[in-house]
Amino acid sequence: MGGAWSAGGRLLPSALCLLLSASLALTPAQEARAEHLGRNLRCPICTGVPITESTNDISREMLREVREQVAAGRSDRQIYDYFAARYGNFVLLDPPKEGAGMLLWGAPLAALVAGGAVLWGFLGRRRAAVAANPAAVPTPDEPFDTYLAEVQRQTRPKRPQREGDQA
C-alpha cells in the first residue's frame, strides 16, 4: 500500500503541472498579442529593453504574467495598468499621454522650442549689434590677431623672382 501511495504521490504533482501548463496554452493570436504587449513593457533592470528581449528572471516572470493575463481575457489597458501599478509608469515603453505622462511627452518639445527661442534671441541681438556698428565686424581677410598675421606671412606662397625684379 505504501508503494501505491508513493507512486500516486509522485503522479499528483506531475498531473497538476500538466493541467496548469495546458490551461496556459495560448492560441497563436493570443501568443502574438502577448508578444506585442511584452514589446511595450520595459525590463525594470535593463536600460530601455523590452521584456521580450531581456533574458533576466524578472523579465521572464513579467512575460509569463502577461501570458496569464492574456489567457484570462484581460484587455491591453488592464494589463498595462497592472504593470504600471506594480512598477510605475517607467515600465511602459509608451507612457500614457495624460497626467504625468504628458510631461514625458511634452518635455522634449518644450526644450526644442526654448532652445529655438534662445537662439533666435541671440541671433537677433547679434544682427542689431552689427547693424549699429558695421565697422566692428572683422572681414575674413583682415588679420585680427598678431599670431594669425605671422602665420599668414609664413604660409603665404612665395612668388618666384624674375631676373628683372629687385628684392
User: Residue 56 is part of a domain; what is its CATH number?
Assistant: 1.10.8.640
Does the pLDDT at position 166 exceed 80?
Answer: no
Give per-residue pLDDT as tens, 24-45. Answer: 678 999 999 999 999 999 998 8
Whole-angstrom Cα distance, residue 162 to residue 102? 77
Q: Are residues 90 and 51 in the same domain?
A: yes
Q: CA nearest 11: which of 163, 73, 102, 19?
A: 19
Q: Are residues 22 and 90 in the same domain?
A: yes
Domain assignment of residue 151, yes or no: no
Q: Give which of 65, 70, 59 is closest to 26, Cα–Cα.
A: 70
Q: Where in the sequence is the domain holding 107, given as residue range(s)?
A: 97-135
C-alpha cell recorded at residue 149: 598675421
pTM across the whole model: 0.48
Residues 59 and 23 in one domain: yes
Packing angle, helices 57-71 and 28-39, rounded to 10: 130
Shared domain check, 127 and 66: no
- With H, G, I as helix, E, B as strand and everything else as coil, classify residue 112: helix
On whether residue 121 sits in a domain, the answer given is yes
- Asked whether residue 19 is domain-assigned, the answer is yes
130 pLDDT more than 70: yes
Indicate whether 141 belongs to any domain.
Answer: no
Domain count within the chain: 2
